[in-house]
Amino acid sequence: MEFNFTPENLERINTEIKKYPKKQAAVMAALYIAQEQNGYITNEIMSKIAEILDMHPHDVLSVVTFYTMYFQKPMGKYHIQVCTNVSCMLRGAYEIWNQLREKLQIENLEVTSDGKFSLEEVECMGSCGTAPMFAINEDFYENLTKEKVEEIINSLN
């Protein structure tokens, strides 16, 4: 199945390309735009991006696999990223992590059967001073307590 960017997204990629002297530098941005459009990165997407940016598809793949924020399989509608690094750990991050694993009945990088939630254990997110924290898609939730976690998750639909 061939992948095509929407005209608006192609325009966004062109804007990104103009920021740099070499097209390849826009690959990370192009991958973000593709992931936004499609939910995750497929081989067809990588071929398309390679074509647009004059790259070899393998070089696109090596970028996709190097960074943790590109997914090669669909994740949940709400992708929950829990930081368990030191500063968060010292303030109860594993409790939050275990609470979510139990509540959603999924493990790291798994998706609930209804496709609503996915869970990821992540490294320091820069919220050490407001720990513990998680991010849901692009939003940070900080100074979490077990009660707050319940409330936040239950409020999502």
Partner 1 sequence: MIKIVLPDIENLHQLDVYKENGGYTAVKKALTQSPDDIIDQVKRSGLRGRGGAAFSTGLKWSFMPKTTDKPKYLCVNGDESEPGSFKDRQIFEYNPHQLIEGILISCYAIGAKTCYIYIRGEYHKWIRLMQKAIDDAYAAGLVGEAMKTTFSTDFHCDIYIHKGAGAYICGEESSLMNSLEGKRGYPRIKPPFPAQNGLWGCPTTINNVETITNIPPIINNGWDWFASIGEPKHPGTILFGVSGHVNKPGVYELPSGTLLTEIIYKYAGGVPGDKKILCVIPGGSSMPPLRGDKLEGVKMDAESLKAAGSAIGTGGIIVMDEDTDLVKVLARIAHFYHHESCGQCTPCREGTGWLEKILKRIIAGKGSVNDLDLLITVANQIEGNTICALGEAAAWPVKFMVERFRDYFEKRVNKEINLEVANKVHSMRHSAITVEEIQH
Pairing between strand 117-122 and 134-136?
A: unpaired
Length of the chain as a residue count: 157
- Positions 120 through 149 that interact with ligand FES (CB under 6 A): 124-128, 131, 133
Q: Exactly one of 37, 38, 85, 112 binds partner 1 (CB under 8 A); which one?
A: 85
What are the φ and ψ backbone dihedral angles of 74, each rounded to 5 degrees? -65, 140
d(CA 31, CA 60): 9
Q: Exactly one of 69, 86, 109, 156 binds ligand FES (CB under 6 A); which one?
A: 86
Q: Which helix (H) or strand (E) holds 120?
A: strand 117-122
Residues at the interface with partner 1 (CB under 8 A)? 19, 21-22, 24-29, 31-32, 53, 55, 59, 62-63, 66-70, 81, 84-87, 89-95, 98, 108, 121-131, 135, 138-140, 146
Interaction site with ligand FES (CB under 6 A): 83, 85-88, 124-128, 131, 133
